[in-house]
């Protein structure tokens, strides 16, 4: 049986970024309703942008464009880091929730940096 290419879904960094986005969606469900169009919207959009840009760049089939999209993902990871800190400091995330999500964000950043270096 021939093995099928999994494309971007086979990339560990994409898998980790996707899991991070899911975790952020789950965690932000408990945020105050008055944050729905503020912090919740911002952190969710940034979180979704990470795996979305990895996949979009992958599908472009040009290394230079791929790396450019990976850098956009890296920027979104930085944005998520700031939003997570705000959520923790405002009391929307417990220290335990914050640490769990931040560890995933940090691991995703490490993997993304490695992928960028391997392509540069």
- The pLDDT score that the predictor gives to residue 95 is 97
Q: Mean pLDDT throughout 43-66?
A: 95
Provide Rg for the chain, Cα atoms: 15
The answer as to CATH 3.40.50.300 being correct for domain 10-26+34-119 is: no
- Alpha-carbon distance of 36 to 60, in angstroms, equals 33
* Band of residue 3 on the pLDDT scale cut at 50, 70, 90: very low
pLDDT in tens, 5-46: 689 999 999 999 999 999 999 999 999 999 999 999 999 999
Task: Please give the model's pTM, rounded to 2 decimal places.
Answer: 0.92
- List the chain domain ranges: 10-26+34-119
Question: 62: alpha, beta or left, given left = phi > 0 and alpha = psi -120 to 50?
Answer: beta
The mean pLDDT value for 46-58 works out to: 97
> From CA 82, how far away is CA 102, in angstroms rounded?
10
| CA atoms of 83 and 61, how far apart (whole Å) | 32
């Amino acid at each position: 049986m021939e093995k099928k290419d999994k494309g971007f879904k086979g990339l560990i960094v994409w898998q980790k970024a996707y899991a991070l986005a899911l975790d952020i969606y789950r965690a932000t469900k408990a945020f105050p309703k008055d944050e729905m169009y503020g912090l919740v919207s911002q952190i969710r959009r940034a979180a979704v942008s990470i795996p979305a840009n990895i996949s979009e760049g992958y599908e472009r089939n040009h290394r230079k464009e791929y790396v450019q999209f990976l850098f956009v993902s890296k920027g979104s990871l930085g944005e998520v880091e700031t939003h997570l800190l705000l959520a923790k400091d405002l009391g929307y995330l417990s220290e335990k929730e914050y640490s769990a999500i931040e560890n995933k964000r940090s691991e995703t950043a490490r993997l993304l940096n490695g992928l960028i270096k391997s392509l540069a």
